[in-house]
Structure 1
């Protein structure tokens, strides 16, 4: 998929975040993500998120995403207001546990980027 001219003119912001996976919900979380709902994926795209990936190491989930929009807060509010995404989160949130470094108002703990190379 090629980038639109709007995406090309907007700088990409990269986000890395972590959260713990509750061991007793591991299989449920993996099952859900093997068949992620198309409406949730469409909302992710509509909210200007690209290259969204979640990695697993032991009981630690690491997410990486690129934001190509102009108003991250507004796009994240739009995502949070989406009823299908809310239902998805009702299933996935109990599978997760915040890390000790969690930030108030954030479910996943934001990470600081220390290196990037294009």
Structure 2
């Protein structure tokens, strides 16, 4: 079974060029860690200062798989570069970075 996840965060306008450059050449290890964690079809879209992320997850334990991604040294290095470019939405839950979005419609 595939779980579709969507999330949103703001990009700092003064960091947009840096954020674009980072995502033009993502670290291969980050991509490998995500794939090993059962993530596929991951996309990030930009509108104004909003980043919209979409991914599909085919594993059976999201929390465990995301913990493996978070423990990956190359992913940690990636986040050190990308996190300063972002700011959570005001409506994000406490401790939430990318805010999960509620699915309302899906056409297969």
Q: TM-score range by the shorter chain?
A: over 0.9
**Match for residue 59 of structure 1 among 39, 49, 56:** 49
SS of corresponding position for 2:89: coil
Which whole-Å deviations, capped at 9, do the CAs of 1:15-38 have from their partners, x for residues lacking one?
A: 110000000000000000000011
Q: What is the aligned partner in structure 2 of residue 88 from structure 1? A: 78
SS of corresponding position for 1:117: coil
Q: What is the aligned partner in structure 1 of residue 59 from structure 2? A: 69
Query: Does residue 114 of structure 1 match 2:104?
Result: yes
Q: What is the aligned partner in structure 2 of residue 18 from structure 1? A: 8
Superposition RMSD on alpha carbons, in Å? 0.6
Aligned pair count reads 108
SS of corresponding position for 1:104: coil
Which whole-Å deviations, capped at 9, do the CAs of 1:64-94 have from their partners, x for residues lacking one?
A: 0000000000000000011110000000000
Runs of 4+ in 1 over 6 A off after TM superposition: none
Scaled by the length of structure 2, the TM-score of the pair is 0.98
Point out where structure 2 has 5 or more consecutive residues left out of the alignment.
Answer: none
Q: Distance between the aligned counterparts of 2:2 and 2:63, measured in 1? A: 15
Scaled by the length of structure 1, the TM-score of the pair is 0.90
Moved more, 100-109 or 22-31: 100-109
Point out where structure 1 has 5 or more consecutive residues left out of the alignment.
Answer: 1-10
Q: Distance between the aligned counterparts of 1:105 and 1:117, measured in 2? A: 32
